Structure 1
Amino acid sequence: MRKEKPSVTKTLDAIVIGAGVSGLYALHKLRELGLSTRVFEAGTDIGGTWYWNRYPGARFDSESYTYQYSFSQELLDEWEWTEHFAAQPEIERYLHFVADKFDLKRDIELNARVRTARYDEAEKLWEIETESGIRASAPILIAATGLLSAHQLPDYEGVEEFGGMSLHTARWPKEEIDLRGKRVGVIGSGPTAVQVIQEVASQAEHLTVFQRTANWCTPLRNRPIDPEEQRELKERAHEIFDICKRTFAGFIHGSDSTPGADVPKAERMARYQELYDRGGFALWLGNYSETFTSAEIAGEVSEFLADKIRERVKDPEMAEKLIPKSHTFGTKRCPGERDYYEQFNRDNVTLVDLRATPIKKITKTGIDTDTETHDLDVIIYATGFQALTGELMRLEILGEGGRSLREHWSDGPKTNLGVQFSGFPNLFAVMGPHNPATFCNITRCIENNVDWIVNCIRYMRENGFETIKTTVEAEEAWTQRCYDSLKGLLIEEMQDSWFFGTNNDENVRGRFLLFAGGVPLYREIFADVAAKGYEGFELQ
């Protein structure tokens, strides 16, 4: 894992952008294929999401033993998770353990943010250049840039003027931040903010939470993994992976196909309680399948959770502010919480409803809303990402004829199977738009997608093909299929979310960025396309 900069352009078989969960696995699989490969990583170390997001409280929202890699029995035998939902430091250690075990670091260039990627049609090579001037070329380019990696600050007036400490959760410093005795403001109330607030509330002298949209949080129920559980989880590892392959979202929670409307209400309520007590995504993904399609069932679960919030938050007015009014349960990814709602019973915690009193500007001393000035020492921005397209759009990617990806997506992203874009031969995206993404336990989808990409490259090499690119017709058809996959789902009515690119550039905003047909169907489609000699792709 060299940090010195090479002085000449190097030609490789494959280039990977990003050394997170996707990039590490892609490097391992490409090496197995015998390809000389180099990974270019913007950070000063490996880990991707789990390198950048080191804020207090950062941890899995999927069970550790379902998120881990499945490709190596030795790896499964040797690594032991300490918690059912591991925290960021342990996850980062795991990824280093993987990288060391498979000697991946020698082919990773750190502190090497790729600035441009240009396709040379005559040479049939992708040429990349980093911000520091490193250049390399290869016929294959894989973007392992993540689905939530392009962090963003809000466009409030005065963001740069604040005289205290400003922190974004996705760029949290490695050194410890002491918040004791500090007046802290957190802007945001999504999954990241929920995790941060639970940790910061007990440290800060005063915490002010600036909430635009309340979310339906469900208990994580995290706990240590005891020795008996450890043995059982290792014995059942492949059974657990098989379960994940069969479920809609690649988690261990499979939905109940029993029509909820046919079940007596008392029985339904008991079921909700059982899932609530189980924790994790059980209430979201292990519920009646109609939770995603029936306003009546989703509304009932919403009311069940609203009652829980009212029970846990002492101040009725505060409780009502924390109960979502803009969307029903299940139409957004649910933040997992430990004691989130109890933080609002603390005397040192204030909640500001930004829908009632919007932020006017950030000042040198704090935040001004329409009605009040909040003096602060620290502002924490838990303001999310430009999802799925963001990191790809921040690169200058130039395909055939010098056409940029930004131009190609000027009217919204278009992909074939979420892995290729027309006019960009041999460029593959592991977790780009139009794949299951948020409806997927990430590593389960990463392994599936990387395996498909690498098998495609193997097919090309074995059959004498140099390039592969999606046809325009297949790209149009898949993009439309992704839009159509939304039909009949309640999610279609809730477009104020990153599923629809709310935080993204104008050309992306309002367009559904995912495939909502489920992970098993996505795997079937992948397999079918490959079995038909990569139908919908042009091989030359």
Structure 2
Amino acid sequence: KQLYVFQRTPSSIDVRNDQPTDVEWYKSQQPGWHKHRMENFNTLVSGGFAEEDLVNDGWTEIVRNILLLMRIEKNKNLTPEELAAKAELADFQKMEQVRARAEAIVKDPNVAESLKPYYRQFCKRPCFHDDYLETFNRPNVTLVDTQGKGVERVTETSVIANGQEYPVDCLVFATGFEVGTDYVRRSGYELYGRDGVTLTDKWKDGAETFQGFHSRGFPNCFFMGTLQSAFTANFPHALNEQAIHIAHLMKKAQDGNIRRMEATQEAEDAWVDLICKLARMGERFYAECTPGYYNNEGQNELRNPKNTSYGGKSERFFKILEDWREEGDMKGLEIS
């Protein structure tokens, strides 16, 4: 049997190092430990600071590197520009480590070179695996490096790449999942709001929401996901916070006998404006990245800022929701 791996861009493959959960450690945890652990992880991978790294894995390592550089200089009062420079240096050091790992594990130097990621760590989703690189030392495994171009075409019996035909009898797609396309396309159904207006028409020039949950003209409809909402590396964390918020809205509706809940035009416009302003903060970083869905496949300047996540830290977004709930007046919503 022969395995061909067709590669567009090399992935960043770091150590996974999974370990069994210590039973005694688990039993010693106090109520609320899981929420605290999630928040600690999210703070660190979002570039924030915490006294302790409770997860202590590959995702949080780059932040530890930044903190180490700051301790060496004994300077915690860095400007945003200085902090960005430290982050870039820590990023480079980490990626050099990842590249060195590929060189140390893969015996064929040409294959090892092709497997070295040449971009900043978070230009693409970091990967962690203890066996992936070792696989390329097997005699029946061939890496087909397309130098960023991808395969040319697929026929009934083969894959064409780099002008060469590779006969195959089984093809496994490892192209990820569809993301960033229209909501209706991904959900598989159309949404109709007041007066028969479709969500496709409402969002034809980009998404329009209030806090990512509500879209005017679609009363009692609540959206979940990253669109104009928070993005977290631990994806269920954001979904959990969204579920808490929607549950709060449902409870308010139940207790207040509310039959209709809908964003005001003013609140929606203000939120969309904020999303667009924050979207510009990461433009330079993504413009320098290799093509991917983070930067509209290398055409970042054509990316609609309306169709992005909340550009501030996710912690800040969650605090906005928490403060809104505590105020209790449902500001930004029309209710009846």
TM-score clears 0.5 = yes
Quote the offset at 1:433 in angstroms.
1.1
Match of 2:18 among 222, 231, 245: 222
Match of 1:372 among 140, 157, 164: 164
Whether contact under 8 Å (2:324, 2:330) holds in the other structure is: yes
For residue 427 of structure 1, give the secondary structure of its aligned residue in structure 2.
coil
For residue 380 of structure 1, give the secondary structure of its aligned residue in structure 2.
coil
Match of 1:470 among 263, 284, 292: 263
Which structure 2 residues correspond to residues 276-425 of structure 1 after superposition, within 5 A? 279-284=57-62, 286-288=64-66, 290=83, 294-325=87-118, 327-355=119-147, 358-387=150-179, 392-393=184-185, 394-425=188-219
Which residue matches 1:127? none
Identity %: 22
How many residue pairs get aligned? The number is: 309
The aligned amino acid for 1:498 is Y
Pair 288,309 (structure 1): closer, same or farther in 2 beyond 3 Å: same
Residue deviations 1:311-366 (CA, integer Å, cap 9, x gap): 222222212211223x3112332122122111122221111222366422211111
For residue 208 of structure 1, give the secondary structure of its aligned residue in structure 2.
strand
Whether contact under 8 Å (1:425, 1:467) holds in the other structure is: yes
Quote the offset at 1:397 in angstroms.
0.8
For residue 520 of structure 1, give the secondary structure of its aligned residue in structure 2.
helix
Whether contact under 8 Å (1:411, 1:508) holds in the other structure is: no
Whether contact under 8 Å (2:9, 2:117) holds in the other structure is: yes
Residue deviations 1:138-178 (CA, integer Å, cap 9, x gap): xxxxxxxxxxxxxxxxxxxxxxxxxxxxxxxxxxxxxxxxx
Pair 247,354 (structure 1): closer, same or farther in 2 beyond 3 Å: same
Task: State the alpha-carbon separation in 2 of the partners of residues 400 and 500 from structure 1.
Answer: 34
Pair 511,279 (structure 1): closer, same or farther in 2 beyond 3 Å: same
Pair 293,537 (structure 1): closer, same or farther in 2 beyond 3 Å: farther
Residue 456, structure 1, aligned to residue 234, structure 2: no
Pair 432,392 (structure 1): closer, same or farther in 2 beyond 3 Å: farther
Which residue matches 1:209? 5
Single out whichever of 287-296 and 310-319 deviates more from structure 2.
287-296
Q: Which has the higher strand share?
A: 1
Quote the offset at 1:484 in angstroms.
3.5
The aligned amino acid for 2:277 is D
Residue deviations 1:51-73 (CA, integer Å, cap 9, x gap): xxxxxxxxxxxxxxxxxxxxxxx
For residue 373 of structure 1, give the secondary structure of its aligned residue in structure 2.
strand
Pair 364,495 (structure 1): closer, same or farther in 2 beyond 3 Å: closer
Quote the offset at 1:406 in angstroms.
1.5
Quote the offset at 1:288 in angstroms.
2.5
The aligned amino acid for 1:535 is K
The aligned amino acid for 2:28 is E
Quote the offset at 1:294 in angstroms.
3.8
The gaps in structure 2 that reach 5 residues or longer are: 68-82
Residue 520, structure 1, aligned to residue 315, structure 2: yes
Task: State the alpha-carbon separation in 2 of the partners of residues 377 and 409 from structure 1.
Answer: 42
Report the TM-score when normalising by structure 2: 0.79
Task: State the alpha-carbon separation in 1 of the partners of residues 307 and 291 from structure 2.
Answer: 11
Whether contact under 8 Å (1:500, 1:509) holds in the other structure is: no
Match of 2:294 among 499, 508, 516: 499
Pair 515,287 (structure 1): closer, same or farther in 2 beyond 3 Å: farther
Residue deviations 1:100-152 (CA, integer Å, cap 9, x gap): xxxxxxxxxxxxxxxxxxxxxxxxxxxxxxxxxxxxxxxxxxxxxxxxxxxxx
For residue 153 of structure 2, give the secondary structure of its aligned residue in structure 1.
strand
Pair 510,358 (structure 1): closer, same or farther in 2 beyond 3 Å: farther
Which residue matches 1:42? none
Pair 485,339 (structure 1): closer, same or farther in 2 beyond 3 Å: farther
Q: Which has the higher helix share?
A: 2
Whether contact under 8 Å (2:158, 2:165) holds in the other structure is: yes
For residue 96 of structure 2, give the secondary structure of its aligned residue in structure 1.
helix
For residue 351 of structure 1, give the secondary structure of its aligned residue in structure 2.
strand
